[in-house]
């Protein structure tokens, strides 16, 4: 059993932080990698990218949104309860190097995935501009964490309840107009990553996205996470989860996510809703 040592309800109570005892995973995990978690024998396997790790304490931190049956089961676990299975670290870690000015764009719970990557880019000497987006102020997460690892922080909300009213692409366009951006990292719902990539392509700004399509075994054996990148088939779990945002076939990706739903109300509904489709 992987014991929950800290549990925190964030934003409107439907976003949950779990810090979990997993010493072997914490020792090896790097920014950008994910784990596959299962609450109990009847639970579904769900991939979640780690929001933080603490090798000294032997813990990993994940943040998820409650949007369906499986994540509701996760939410029912309290401190001192545990997950039956956690497998990882999986996927390729983020390549971190000093480039100059980089922009980190996060939406929704994608901000949790973005946080360790942003911190890593800052630690290797980059000037980091972060842009965070949420539907409203009460749904924004990790603002203080992201501010601490950024040289500049911009916030947008769809309803204008906090920061700038609009979308992350509005703030990103302003930055691209003024800055010599060497890299954009975008993590969030698939539609958000699609439109960020379309925008950055106009400015010839290299863009990396983290794809979180449906994964089953996490080792590339099942083929459930196939994505088309640059006209070639890739497996998000072993070839990614990070890819060149300008080469991803987002329309195909969204269709594949929807294809896993039997009647649009059940069967992996967590994934579709988290991806905004």
Question: Which of 157, 175, 209 represents a domain boundary (last residue)?
Answer: 209
pLDDT at 33 over 80: yes
Split into its structural domains, the chain has a count of: 3
Question: Which of 161, 182, 209 represents a domain boundary (last residue)?
Answer: 209
Same-domain status, 205 and 98: yes
**pLDDT at res. 187:** 95
Q: How far apart are CA 190 and CA 193, in angstroms?
A: 5
User: Can you tell me which residue has the tokens 């996760």?
Assistant: 74
Q: For residue 221, what pLDDT band results from cuts at 50, 70 and 90?
A: confident
User: Structure pTM?
Assistant: 0.87
pLDDT at 136 over 60: yes
**Residue of 232, 248, 257, 100 whose CA lies nearest to 187:** 248
Question: Which of 63, 90, 117 represents a domain boundary (last residue)?
Answer: 90
Average pLDDT over residues 250-255: 88
Same-domain status, 188 and 272: no
Average pLDDT over residues 84-96: 93
Burial class (CB in 10 A: 0-12, 13-18, 19+), 82: middle
Which residues lie below 8 Å from residue 51, measured CB to CB, with a gap of 6+?
17, 61, 62, 63, 112, 113, 115, 116, 142
Same-domain status, 174 and 157: yes
Domain enclosing residue 255, as ranges: 211-277
What does pLDDT average to over the chain? 89
**pLDDT at res. 8:** 94
Same-domain status, 254 and 203: no
pLDDT at 211 over 90: no
Q: For residue 275, what pLDDT band results from cuts at 50, 70 and 90?
A: very low
| Rg over CA atoms, the chain | 18
Same-domain status, 99 and 202: yes
pLDDT at 264 over 50: no
The enclosing domain of 115 has a CATH number of 3.40.50.80
Helix and strand counts by DSSP (H, E) for the chain? 9, 17
pLDDT at 178 over 80: yes
Same-domain status, 203 and 228: no
């Amino acid at each position: 059993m992987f014991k929950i040592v800290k549990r925190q309800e964030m934003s409107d109570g439907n976003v949950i932080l779990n810090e979990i005892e997993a010493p072997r995973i914490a020792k090896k995990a790097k920014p950008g990698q994910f784990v596959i978690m299962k609450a109990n024998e009847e639970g579904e396997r769900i991939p979640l990218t780690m929001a933080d790790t603490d090798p000294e304490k032997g813990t990993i931190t994940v943040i998820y949104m409650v949007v369906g049956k499986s994540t509701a089961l996760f939410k029912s676990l309290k401190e001192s309860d545990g997950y039956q299975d956690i497998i990882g670290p999986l996927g390729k870690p983020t390549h971190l190097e000093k480039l100059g000015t980089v922009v980190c764009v996060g939406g929704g719970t994608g901000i949790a995935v973005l946080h360790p990557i942003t911190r890593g880019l800052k630690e290797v000497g980059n000037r980091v501009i972060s842009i965070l987006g949420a539907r409203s102020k009460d749904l924004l997460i990790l603002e203080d964490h992201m501010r601490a690892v950024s040289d500049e922080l911009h916030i947008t909300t769809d309803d204008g309840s906090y920061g700038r009213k609009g979308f992350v692409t509005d703030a990103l366009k302003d930055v691209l107009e003024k800055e010599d951006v060497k890299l954009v990292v975008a993590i969030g719902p698939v539609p958000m990553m699609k439109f960020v990539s379309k925008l950055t392509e106009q400015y010839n700004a290299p863009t990396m996205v983290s794809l979180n399509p449906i994964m089953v075994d996490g080792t590339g054996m099942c083929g459930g996470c196939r994505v088309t990148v640059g006209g070639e088939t890739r497996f998000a779990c072993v070839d990614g989860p990070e890819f060149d945002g300008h080469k991803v076939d987002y329309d195909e990706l969204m269709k594949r996510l929807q294809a896993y739903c039997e009647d649009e109300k059940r069967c992996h509904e967590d994934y579709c809703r988290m991806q905004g489709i």
